[in-house]
Structure 1
Amino acid sequence: MAASLAVAMMAGFTGLSLTNGLSEYPSNYRKIAVSFAAIALGGGIWSMHFVAMLGLQLPFDFFYDAAITLTSALVAILVVGAALLLLHFGKRTRPKLILAGLIVGVGIIAMHYIGMAALQLCKAVYTPFGVTLSIVSSCVLSVAAFGIAYSKRNRRNILLGTIVFGLAVFAVHFIATAATKFSQLLETAKVGPIMSNETLAIGVVLSSFALCGAFLLSTATFLPSETLAAAGPEPSPTQPSNIESNLQPLAPMAMKQIPYELEGRTQFVDAGAVAAIRAEGHYTYVYTQNGHFFCAWSIAEAEKRLAKSNFIKTHRSYLINPTMVKGFERLKDTGVCYFGLPDLAKVPVSRSQLKPVREALGL
């Protein structure tokens, strides 16, 4: 039971983290991310169910039909994928959030009862009350999970949404199972090959292992970039990184516009209206008073292209426009620049950049 709850929580966190901020990415990238998130969430629902089923103890032997078991996993992935497509393509509204939660709630229920239908030499007998209660709890908790996670796409809401989603999957299984009676059958009605608990355990372990890997990767990208930066030494200003050293020098002219992606199109914003640029993997985000937007430049390319502009590097993950800084705080041998924007409250200043940043701010 404890392991099944952990699997449900990891699945929820991984799926909700993979879809965070997708509206600012190109359409093709969104499709790929939604596919991976659907596999994480749907596969996590399936893994949670059968991890819990490994703990089911009955006074007789029972097995699983492999074809029906696989069908239950595919149904969970496809249903969750449909809900995520609804949320990440087109305008996101409250009715869409409710509909997506209901779709996932129905998907959890469908996965559960299809998975139970895979039982061989064992008959599951359901009660109307148990089925109704499990459907209602699944839909209500799924709507709540998506409502929390998507009401505001920040770390706090993703964590809260993860908890509610994990509890939804966990609660539905045990509510439905508690209201189910099991009786022994002497014959099988198999559709595909028969699997024992040992064979199922191997499949569940492999799927959970893959889910754990995705969970760890999602956790790494979920952490604030300043936390990640603190984990390793910053490149010396006199010894640029390999990425920077391989870039070809650009013409010595100040960039007046910065490209960003929005609604599948490349658009431009005046460099003077950009408060900061933050690294995000091999790409960046540009921050303005109207929000933050995905940019295909790497942080190294942005630094090169904006070398003749006002921008200054505060940290290996940040470039800032000093004219838009609202406040500065020194913290021993580092510092913080405050912007007061809805999506950009502050930017860290590393030790090596403290002096040039202070000079640029006239301090």
Structure 2
Amino acid sequence: MREWADYSIAEGEGGTRSLVLTGPLVVSSVGRIDTALRGTGERFSAIDISQAGEVDTVGAWLVWRLSRESGADIVGASDKAQRLIAAVHRNELEEEPEPEELPIPARLPERVGSFVIAYGQGVLSLLGFLGALILALGSVIRHPARFRWTALVRQVELVGVGALPIIGLMSFLVGIVIAQQGAVQLEQFGAEIYTINLTGRLSFRELGVLMTAIMVAGRSGSAFAAQLGTMKLTEEIDAMRTIGVSPMEALVVPRVLACTFMMILLGFYAAILSIIGGAVISMFSLEIPFFTFLSRIQEVVPAHDLWVGLIKGPVFGLIVAIAGCYQGMQVEGNSEAVGIRTTIAVVQAIFMVIVLDAFFAVFFTEVGWG
């Protein structure tokens, strides 16, 4: 039968009161004392543990805490108990003092400065990640036998093949919207036939690859961050380093290559489905035959529009993959960090894709591919 620790209060001369602890002061028996005396605010002149039995670290901490709260001296402690209480006292975790709040005029500069410093540290960390990725790619090129083809095929399946249904449906519906809304506006000028031009050029140059990149960022970029972040928390990545396997080569390189190459095919696939969607709605709203719409696309859409989409695709895929893998490798602390880093990965990827799309629009216009 378990023996519980107990306490009593002894009255002394001059109205002094002593707390007398009896029984074993160990983790399995001090719960009742802790519950009864915690936060009572009672004052004692001394805490007598001469009648206590075995004392472990938890019991020593309880005695030390009661002494600190009541301002009492500890008496009757054995040599072992004295050593444990002294160790607890040395390792007391004092609460960090809250920093003094700055006056209102100084808060904004202070926060801006903190943001700039954090941004600079993030840029340096990202550059370090890119450097490690380049070294890993170089190592794989020099030693092809080390490349993990199975991992690459698996990521191609997840990033590309698994995304075909949702990207196809999305692109088909976007094509319908472009054609329908374009026809409504062009009808005011009697130029409904130019709906074909609008749908074809927008699908190949912009919306096909852009909407695909956003979808891949939300689908695959988030998966990369969550997968690598979870592996980081469970110390699988540290274990890989311990046995001599490079996490960059085994985890990051296959994901980056798969996402980069599959974005070329997914962007083209999305553009084709978007045009088919435009042809379907035009067949009903504009009475343009389906195959006439498709043949007209070949005449009105210049070849460089196709090349513009094919050039954007791998760049967008690279951005999405790097954002997801980088944020996943930055996870530390607890599981909450996985969700935070996953959200950051998706936001960063979409933001950078839109910024680069704007840059490409200006660039191709300047080189005569507008």
TM superposition score normalised by structure 2: 0.25
The structure that is strand-richer by fraction is 1
The structure that is helix-richer by fraction is 2
Task: Give the number of the structure whose alpha-carbon radius of gyration is greater.
Answer: 2
TM superposition score normalised by structure 1: 0.25
